[in-house]
Structure 1
Amino acid sequence: MKKLENTQYFKIQSDQELKVGDVLQLVYQAMTEKGYDPVNQIVGYIMSGDPTYITSHNGARSLIMKVERDELVEELLRVYVDKTVKE
């Protein structure tokens, strides 16, 4: 018989974990396909936290909501610095 006072841990792993950059790329693509300005819409989402700035086309809204907004800013800044400042 197992001891009931011990907590057991388990982690469910998704089949495919996307990186923040991948999420941004997919969301950007979905926004472009729907005719939106992806930069303005993503900035609106980051600033407000309101997911309605992001289209639900191709699951973009669900995807972006899985990532913390500060992680989005961090990824955008990292890529900018890597491409602009370090060159």
Structure 2
Amino acid sequence: MADINNTQYFNFNTDPEVRVKLVLDVVYNAMAEKGYNPVNQIVGYIMSGDPTYITSHKNARSMIMKVERDELVEELLREYIKNKSWQQ
């Protein structure tokens, strides 16, 4: 039996990198489905913080607002560096 004096801890997602990747994937696909240029719209959101750059289609706007903009930039830069074509 558990000790009732201790608080149980539940963590749904322990890897924030995975969460950010999932959000970017959903947002990108939702923007493309609606006919927007996903790159331009995501950059607009990151630069301004204005969520109206992101469509509400497939709950994309709500999802992206749950991630800090600096986390989006970090993940995009991390993936760019990992996949850069100029690396030998």
- For normalisation by structure 1, the TM-score amounts to 0.79
Q: Distance in 1 between matches of 2:9 and 2:57?
A: 29
Q: How far 1:11 sits from its partner (Å)?
A: 6.5
1:62 aligns with 2:62: yes
Describe how 1:6-85 pairs up with structure 2 within 5 A.
Answer: 19-84=19-84
Q: Structure 1: any 5+ residue segments left out of the alignment?
A: 1-8
- For normalisation by structure 2, the TM-score amounts to 0.78
Deviations along 1:37-76, one digit per CA (max 9) or x if unpaired, are 0000000000000000000000000000000000000000
Matched residue pairs, number?
79
Q: Structure 2: any 5+ residue segments left out of the alignment?
A: 1-6
Tell me the percent identity: 64
Q: Which runs of 4+ in 1 moved over 3 A?
A: 9-15
Q: Distance in 1 between matches of 2:50 and 2:58?
A: 18
Backbone CA RMSD of aligned residues? 2.2
